[in-house]
Amino acid sequence: MLALDRVGKTYPNGVRALDGVTLAIKPGEILAIVGGSGCGKSTLLRAVSGLDRPTQGQVTLDNEKIEKPHEKIGIIFQEPRLLPWLTVADNVGFGLHDRPSSERKERVARALERVGMPEKAGAWPRELSGGQAQRVAIARALVPRPEVLLLDEPFSALDAFTRADLQDHLLKLWSDLKPTLVLVTHDVDEAVVLADRILVMRPRPGRVFEEIEADLPRPRDRQSAAFDFVKRRVLAALDRSLDRTVSVNEGQEKAETGAAMWW
């Protein structure tokens, strides 16, 4: 169980990016986080990953405090961040360096098969399209079998068609090992297609504004009325998260943000 206990982060320049976020995420749960730009989504994810430390509160995984990157926690960034000097296969196997090479080869081959690009094992990253590169990044993060996988707007740089394709791939891979997924996205459709629970955040300081259960059967039908219902709830919550009536005392700050401009 991944737990956040009153997690807050104040950057050295005084920006309060995160304040009092308390969350419990069940093993195997898919949690999506949406919210306006600058409301602390990346800060939250980096605190969970151990790449940055919160200034208040703590993150624990199975009661173990996370203070630096942990072997059970994987992260996928907005950009694929493949190492250009390694082949696709070596990139996928990057986190398996301490394993015997036969095991490494087998797991890499299987992962490449799962993301649908076994024929690219020997290719260089520069030879891949954006979508292929992100698929390799997903394989690289999943191959060490993390219990928690964090994704920070992983598909936002891709076109809609590739994005839908990668969402399917991600779900397929998730169903293999059922890791906990924490997905930051600015695509409400993406959140509703993937998540069990959707967290809407609001800025200054960043905190949880609303939680929405997306209790839909899988695979999800984007055309169904239930899907549309959840999506509308999320959109409404996003709008409200920026509505100036919500926080009268912050009127001066709110004036900078347009009501519907939550992304």
Ligand X SMILES: Nc1ncnc2c1ncn2[C@@H]1O[C@H](COP(=O)(O)OP(=O)(O)O)[C@@H](O)[C@H]1O
Q: Which residues bind another protein (CB under 8 A)?
A: 49, 51, 68-71, 74-75, 77, 79, 81, 83-86, 94-95, 97, 124-126
Break the chain down into helix, strand, coil percent, rounded to 5: 40, 25, 40
Which residues, 205 to 244, sit near ligand X by CB under 6 A? 206
37: partner contacted, choices ligand X, Mg ion, another protein, none (Cβ within 5-8 A by kind): ligand X
d(CA 184, CA 203): 15
Task: Take residue 12 and report the two structure tokens written for it.
Answer: 């050295």
CB of 83 to another protein, least distance (A): 6
Give per-residue burial for 8-39: e unless 16+ CB within 10 Å, then b: bbeeeeeebbbbebebebeeebbbbbbbbeeb
15: partner contacted, choices another protein, Mg ion, ligand X, none (Cβ within 5-8 A by kind): ligand X
Closer to another protein by Cβ: residue 14 or 97: 97
Please name the residue ranges forming H helices in the chain: 41-49, 88-92, 101-114, 130-142, 160-177, 188-194, 225-241, 251-254
Decide if residue 185 touches Mg ion (CB under 5 A).
no
Closer to ligand X by Cβ: residue 34 or 73: 34
Contact 16, 203 (CB under 8 A): no
Residue of 125, 143, 132 lying closest to 74 (CA atoms): 143
CB of 202 to Mg ion, least distance (A): 15
Residue of the chain from 29, 34, 41, 111 that contacts ligand X (CB under 6 A): 41
Decide if residue 8 touches ligand X (CB under 6 A).
no
d(CA 142, CA 148): 9
77: partner contacted, choices Mg ion, another protein, ligand X, none (Cβ within 5-8 A by kind): another protein
d(CA 152, CA 89): 23
161: partner contacted, choices Mg ion, ligand X, another protein, none (Cβ within 5-8 A by kind): none
Write the binding mask 36 to 55 for Mg ion: x where contact by CB under 5 A, - elsewhere.
------x-------------
Q: CA angle at residue 85 from 79 to 86, to 5 degrees? A: 85
Contact residues for Mg ion, defined by CB under 5 A:
42
Contact residues for ligand X, defined by CB under 6 A:
11, 13, 15, 17, 35, 37-43, 206
